[in-house]
Amino acid sequence: MVKTAVLVSGGGTNLQAIIDANILGEIKNCELTAVISSNPEAYALTRAQYAKIPTYIVDKNIFPNRDSFTQAIVNKLNDLDIELVVLAGFMYVLTERFTKEFKNRVINIHPALIPAFCGDGYYGIHVHEKVLAFGAKISGATAHFVSEVTDDGPIIMQKSVDVLEDDTPETLQRRIMEQAEWKILPQSISLFCEGRLRVEGRIVHIKEATNESN
Ligand code: GAR
């Protein structure tokens, strides 16, 4: 079983999708070892506690800078022998200290079709505000490995979602979560834990399932 930590900052609907898919057996070979929150008030912590997953708080606000915050997260992941890290609504960009140590072992979910509407300043509801302001007709979600550059790492899975005429940022966000994020994030975690992902440069190859991984 791949020891997996989920990093969160807020509501945790993506965490819930992971918990539910794991209970249903849709994620194979994954142990949800820890949920780590940057925010002591995050509702995601309550979701984890209901699911009996150990929770830890690494409170962003008590650290003087990004380096010391990153170091605290890395220490916690190493203490727990974590093999896979999932960023599920984790709202901070960590330093190279983290991305180098966990290279191709961190999966992020981004609520748009990378390389559109991504990078610094594109997070949470702001992504959907910018999609609507630009007049895009399609958006969606991307599950990708995290690299040194924000939202630039190798893409594992993407799913598109139509933008509707009367969408608000909130309705678009919700539809993208339901139709894309909550599906491709658990699927990507399973592919990783089954050992079916091979990264070559920035291309992610997905191996066919074998009988053992079924
Ligand atoms: C999700 O839409 C996620 O894709 C996004 O924030 C939301 C968190 O919701 N993440 C980012 O924008 C990261 N750049 P959740 O806490 O309910 O999963």
Task: Give yes or no for residue 169 CB within 6 A of ligand 1.
Answer: no
CA–CA separation, 73 vs 191, rounded Å? 25
Residue 103: strand, helix, or coil? coil
Token pair in block for residue 105: 């072992």
Among the atoms of ligand 1, which is closest to the Cα of residue 14?
A: 18
CA of 28 to the centre of ligand 1 (A): 23
Q: In angstroms, rounded to a whole number, what is the distance separating the alpha carbons of residues 84 and 46?
A: 22
According to DSSP, the β-strands at 30-37 and 55-57 are parallel
Q: Does residue 111 have its Cβ closer than 6 Å to ligand 1? A: yes
d(CA 49, CA 29): 21
Write down the mean pLDDT value for the chain: 96
Judged by DSSP in three states, 20 sits in helix
Q: Residue 203: its pLDDT value, please?
A: 98
pLDDT band at 213 (very low <50, low <70, confident <90, very high): low
Question: For 17-61, how does the pLDDT look when each residue is reduced to its tens digit (9 = 90+)?
Answer: 999 999 999 999 999 999 999 999 999 999 999 999 999 999 999
**Residue 110 a catalytic site member:** yes
pLDDT digits (tens, 9 = 90+) for 163-201: 999 999 999 999 999 999 999 999 999 999 999 999 999
pLDDT digits (tens, 9 = 90+) for 145-156: 999 999 999 999
Return d(Cα 130, Cα 140) in angstroms, integer: 13
CB-based contact 133:209 (threshold 8 Å): no
Please, what is the end-to-end C-alpha distance for the chain in angstroms? Answer: 14
Ligand 1 and 181: CB distance under 6 A? yes
- Looking at ligand 1, which atom is closest to the CA of residue 109? 4
Q: State if residue 42 touches ligand 1 by the CB under 6 angstroms criterion.
A: no
Mutation pick for ligand 1 pocket among 9, 13, 174, 178 (CB with most ligand atoms within 8 Å)? 13
> Is the Cβ atom of 10 under 6 angstroms away from ligand 1?
yes
The whole-model pTM stands at 0.96
**Ligand 1: which residue has its CA nearest to atom 9?**
89
